[in-house]
């Protein structure tokens, strides 16, 4: 297992937009700094970041800004998967050159029913074109949105061909059985030194919701990349730390904390997706007392006044609060 | 009805790629010239063009090349719909500045379940940002691939707000009842002068397969934008001409020609999609005697040797042949 692989809790960082819908660099930097201060890594440009509502150039400019602001790229895993090899390679090479810990890569999601062979060729082209030993790809499985998904057979072939570049995956299927299948097939096995191949393989599985964090860690997973980490990073990180055994804790304590995380998650997950993105931004607007944060880019729409009021009431009811202020 | 609107038969032009997978400009230009010589308009960068497997820059470079080669942009309807407003606006403005007849615009297709309001805001932003009276948008409904679709209510709202910019649609649902719904709601009504609005509205419906061409024209439609127009443009155009009454023909003659078009279409449609794209390219490779044409970009895969052999045999069996040579 590589010692320096990114693990733990990451947020698919929500992207603030100005009134003209351009990315709001200052608010983005402030939020990223706060997340890092909470031991939360930056999976910028994920689904919840509205990354696919931004151009490749807008994403690269924002990543440049984070690095220029002095943030540690070893704590970053930008989303770089587009529909085209050309754009995916451009974004990925850009992230690698910034020294990012890895990239979270959607499969090309426009053409449906493309099959494993086509996806294998796609990812192969990307790995070969980027051509950098520092490349660490985390395959992004999110069938409810991308429709095109990542299968165990695809991972098997890619790991065989590119054991160093294929570093892991994020499973946002919402189906624990699916996560377990990948863990059993790749993560656990990877823990053993494979003398035939000459090196131990590592395949790090991140769950797409902290609801599965405890189960994931107990089964050899690497952490979580979760939307709600945008607002609840400290508590999620606490569970991660307890689960990996950094602090002595009983099973009951772990379960209790997992239960508390789930209560918060549920408030946001209750919004039918993709309204969850608007709800997260609305929550940040509330805790920062900054209505600018509520803005989303079409085709997403912000919460209605009533939805926003209900969200505030629900968060108050569960006594949830965060200090988003200083960085 | 505007006299200069593009109508008739258009091909979502297949894009040839070189061995390094970069777009093959020369072969692309040659194929476009041949299509124009067959009275077939150029819906470049459609689904069958593998447009979503290309970057925005690659598409703009190819369009520049077509115009530089002296081809008439009034016969072009490039696909410009991306997931992000920024890229869609960039590609659309580029096409408008080249004097293209219109643009074929996919809805933003990453986020699912976004609803009519979100799509309305998205298209509104695009129209306003392009801000050009020459803009003619053809909304692209292709639910089997994009998943996100175009609804009658959305068209109603967009037409109300932007009667000049919203010029029509391409219906690739494969469901004639759906096409008929749009024709009845918008195309036929548009033919009447609307004295309240001060101008007659035109909403041109193109079907995504020539199998529906006769029915479409008989019901007030504008033509077809069909993958098979890449290989069978002359016959499809002949039916279009006959159907609009340019040449005297009986119902039986029309039906007979429609039947013959369907036989050719069926050979390609039999390949499970998206293999149809590989099959079209393979057919061009056969008729041009140029194996280079068969190449596709991952995640698509080319036909196997056996599939290619079967395709050739089937085309021979129906006695289909075309001269793709000179331009």
Inform me whether the pLDDT recorded for B119 exceeds 90.
yes
User: DSSP secondary-structure letter at B17?
Assistant: B
| Residue B257 CA: distances (Å) to CA of B223, B226, B234, B270, B272 | 15, 16, 12, 20, 25
Q: Choose among A48, A43, A153: nearest CA to A105.
A: A43
- The answer to whether the CB atoms of A274 and B114 lie below 8 A apart is yes
In this predicted model, what pLDDT tens digit does every residue of B243-292 receive, in sequence order? 998 777 889 999 999 999 999 999 999 887 789 999 999 999 999 999 99
Distance, CA of A239 to CA of A233 (rounded, Å) = 10
**Running DSSP on this structure, what letter comes out for residue A204?**
E
pLDDT (mean) for B126-135: 98
Q: What's B210's DSSP letter? A: G
Distance CA A159, CA A168 (A): 9
Q: Is the pLDDT of residue B192 over 50?
A: no
Place of tokens 């970057």: B55
Q: B99's torsion region: left (phi>0), alpha (psi -120 to 50) or beta?
A: left
> pLDDT digit string (tens) for A128-157?
999 999 999 999 999 999 999 999 999 999
Strands (E), B12-165: 41-42, 103-105, 137-141
- B85·A56 Cβ contact <8 A: no
Using the predicted structure, report yes or no on whether residue A197 has a pLDDT greater than 50: no
Average pLDDT over residues B186-192: 63
Task: Please give the pLDDT value at position B272.
Answer: 78
Query: What is residue A47's predicted lDDT score, i.e. its pLDDT?
Result: 97
State the CB neighbour count (10 A cutoff) for residue A112. Answer: 14
- Hey, where are the domains in chain A? 8-250
Q: What would the two tokens of residue A268 be?
A: 């946001």
Whats the size of chain A, residue-wise? 327
Between the alpha carbon of residue B326 and those of residues B29, B37, B232, B261, the distances in Å are: 12, 10, 16, 24
- Interface with A, mutate which of B110, B118, B273, B301 (most A CBs under 10 A): B110
Instruction: Return residues 41-60 of A near B (CB < 8 Å).
Output: 47, 52-58
Residue B299 preceded by cis peptide, ω within 30: yes
At A4 the pLDDT is: 82
- Determine the pLDDT at residue A220: 95
What count of Cα atoms within 13 Å lies in the side-chain half-sphere of residue B61? Answer: 11
What does the alpha-carbon distance between residue B276 and residue B303 come to, in Å, rounded to a whole number?
A: 9
Residues of chain A with Cβ-Cβ distance to B111 below 8 Å are: 52-53, 145, 274, 299-300
Residue A236 has pLDDT above 70, yes or no: yes
User: In angstroms, rounded to a whole number, what is the distance separating the alpha carbons of residues B168 and B6?
Assistant: 10
Question: Could you tell me what percentage of chain A is helix, strand and coil, using 3-state DSSP and rounding each to the nearest 5?
Answer: 50, 10, 40
**Closest CA–CA distance from residue A327 to any residue of chain B (Å):** 30
**Predicted pLDDT at B147:** 96
Quote the crossing angle between the two packed helices A152-161 and A115-130, to the nearest 10°: 30
Judge contact between A240 and A223, C-beta under 8 A. Answer: yes
List CB contacts of B269: < 8 A, sequence separation 6 or more. Answer: B209, B276
- Rounded to a whole number of angstroms, the distance from the CA of B190 to the nearest CA of chain A is 27
For residue A194, pLDDT beyond 50: no
Residue A106, pLDDT above cutoff 70: yes
> Sign of the CA dihedral A294, A300, A306, A308?
negative
Of chain B, the percentage scoring pLDDT greater than 70 comes to 94
CA quadruple B131, B135, B141, B144: dihedral sign:
negative
**Is residue B133 within 8 angstroms of chain A, CB to CB?**
no
DSSP, res B300? S
Q: What's CA A124's distance to the chain center, in Å?
A: 22
* Mean of the per-residue pLDDT values of chain B: 93
Q: Residue A196: pLDDT above 50? A: no
Distance of CA A169 to the CA centre of its chain: 10
Inter-chain CB proximity A118 and B300 less than 8 Å: yes
Q: Is the bond preceding A160 in cis, omega lying within 30 degrees of 0?
A: no
Whole-model pTM: value is 0.95
CA gap B151, B123 in Å, rounded: 13
> Given this structure, which CATH class describes domain B8-250?
alpha beta
Q: Which residues numbered 172-191 in A keep a CB inside 8 Å of some CB on B?
A: none
| CA distance to A24, A42, A53, A180, per residue, from A295 (Å) | 10, 20, 13, 36
Q: Do B300 and A109 touch (CB under 8 A)?
A: no
Q: Which residues of B208-238 are buried (b: 16+ CB within 10 A; e: fewer)?
A: bbbbbbbbbbebbbbbbbbbbbbbbbebbbb
Return the number of CB contacts < 8 Å for A and B: 132
For residue A191, what pLDDT is reported? 47
Share of chain B above pLDDT 90, in %: 88
Calpha distance B219→B215 (Å, rounded): 6
Report yes or no for ipTM above 0.90: yes
pLDDT at B188: 65
- Which comes out higher in pLDDT, residue B92 or A199? B92
């Amino acid at each position: 297992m590589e010692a320096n692989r990114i693990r733990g809790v990451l947020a698919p960082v929500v992207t603030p937009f100005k009134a003209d819908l351009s990315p709001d660099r200052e608010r983005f930097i402030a939020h990223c700094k706060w997340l890092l201060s909470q031991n939360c890594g930056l999976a910028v440009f994920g689904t919840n970041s509205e990354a696919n509502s931004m151009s490749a150039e807008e994403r690269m400019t924002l990543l440049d800004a984070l690095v220029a602001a002095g943030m540690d790229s070893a704590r970053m895993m930008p989303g770089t998967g587009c529909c085209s090899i050309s754009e995916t390679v451009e974004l990925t090479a850009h992230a690698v050159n910034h020294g990012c810990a890895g990239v979270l890569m959607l499969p090309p999601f426009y053409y449906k029913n493309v099959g494993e062979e086509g996806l294998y060729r796609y990812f192969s082209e990307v790995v070969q074109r980027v051509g950098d030993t520092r490349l660490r790809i985390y395959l992004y499985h999110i069938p409810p949105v991308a429709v095109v998904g990542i299968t165990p057979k695809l991972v098997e072939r890619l790991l065989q061909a590119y054991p160093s570049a294929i570093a892991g995956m994020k499973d946002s299927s919402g189906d624990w059985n699916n996560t377990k299948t990948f863990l059993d097939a790749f993560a656990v096995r990877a823990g053993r030194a494979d003398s035939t191949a000459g090196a131990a393989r590592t395949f790090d599985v991140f769950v797409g919701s902290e609801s599965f964090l405890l189960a994931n860690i107990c089964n050899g997973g690497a952490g979580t990349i979760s939307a709600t980490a945008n607002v609840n990073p400290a508590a999620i990180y606490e569970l991660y730390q307890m689960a990996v055994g950094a602090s002595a804790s009983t099973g009951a304590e772990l379960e209790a904390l997992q239960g508390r995380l789930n209560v918060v998650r549920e408030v946001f997950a209750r919004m039918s997706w993709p309204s969850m993105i608007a709800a997260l931004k609305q929550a940040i607007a509330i805790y920062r007392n900054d209505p600018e944060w509520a803005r989303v880019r079409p085709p997403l729409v912000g919460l209605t006044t009533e939805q926003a009021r209900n969200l505030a009431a629900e968060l108050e009811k569960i006594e949830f609060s965060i200090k988003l202020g200083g960085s």
